[in-house]
Amino acid sequence: MTPATSKNLASKVAAGFVVVIIAATFFSLGIWQLNRAAALKASLVTATTIDEKTVALDSIATVNTSLTPTALNRMVKVSGHYVADFKAPGQVDSSGKLADWEVGLLQVATNEGVLVVRGLWAERLLNPDIEQSMVIDILGQLHAHQDGDRADNSAGVISRLDSAVIVGITDLDLFDGYIVARSETHNGAEIVRTRLTAEKLTSRIPGFYWQHLSYVVIWWLMAAVVLYLPFYRRKVDL
């Protein structure tokens, strides 16, 4: 084998090695995007799953701090007394029914508070013997705060279920999100109300999922192109 032939062979081997490395890199990037898509889809399933195990509110949430994903949809228990009552217009329940809701600000301990959806605004006078000074035990589901306004803020009215809209009218340190009460009891006696369920979130897979899958196709297509180029060049040379 002449030096020229040996040099040419080494050059081809080096070129082939580079092609394989580049193609493997593109393929690995495709695998990474595929894993990202799978992780995103799995997180959506987790987010819509309700853990029925009841825990104390302060064990999964902290005042003045955003709720963590693991706290969403959890069943919580908390005790306190109501210090304010608000009308939340234009709310939609899980069956799609539109109504005005009654939302109470429950004071917890000495300086903490959380919003509690108690029931329909039209039924707010069903229990006239319940006073704000009474200690109420709440069992309900914890939800993330709403982002979009359903009405205008005014005296006794909140635009959305979000503690951020009442920070200016209370000195309490507030929990993020709100609780939809499944039951309210005082000294073991049930407070009778029509209990509500929060609006169902759509389970549609967001655009980011499909974007990840499109990147998988792009990266793997580029890997195929890189592997094909040497053979194409050989055909052209012939």
pLDDT score at 35:
80
What pLDDT is recorded for position 94?
Answer: 87
User: What does the DSSP 8-state code read for residue 146?
Assistant: P
What integer pLDDT is reported at residue 119 of this predicted model? 95
- Kindly list the domain boundaries of the chain, sorted by start residue: 3-47+205-237, 54-190
Tens of pLDDT along the chain (238 residues) come to: 565 565 566 666 677 777 788 888 888 888 888 887 776 666 555 555 566 789 999 999 999 999 988 898 999 999 999 999 999 999 999 888 999 999 999 999 899 999 999 999 999 888 777 766 789 999 999 999 998 888 888 889 999 999 999 999 999 999 999 999 999 999 988 998 899 998 865 544 555 667 777 888 888 888 888 887 777 666 655 5
Residue 101, pLDDT score: 97
In the prediction, which pLDDT does 207 show?
Answer: 57
* CA dihedral (231, 233, 234, 238) positive or negative: positive
With respect to CATH, is domain 54-190 assigned 2.40.50.140? Answer: yes
Give pLDDT, residue 118.
96
- In this prediction, residue 148 carries a pLDDT of 85
**What Cα–Cα distance (Å) separates residue 109 from each residue in 44, 58, 135, 167, 190?**
34, 11, 11, 18, 22
Residue 204: its pLDDT value, please? Answer: 47
CA angle 118–123–127, rounded 5-degree value: 80
pLDDT at site 2: 60
- Contact in structure between 185 and 148 (CB atoms under 8 Å): no
What is the Cα–Cα distance from 14 to 201, expressed in whole angstroms?
55
Cβ burial, residue 170 (10 Å; 0-12/13-18/19+): middle
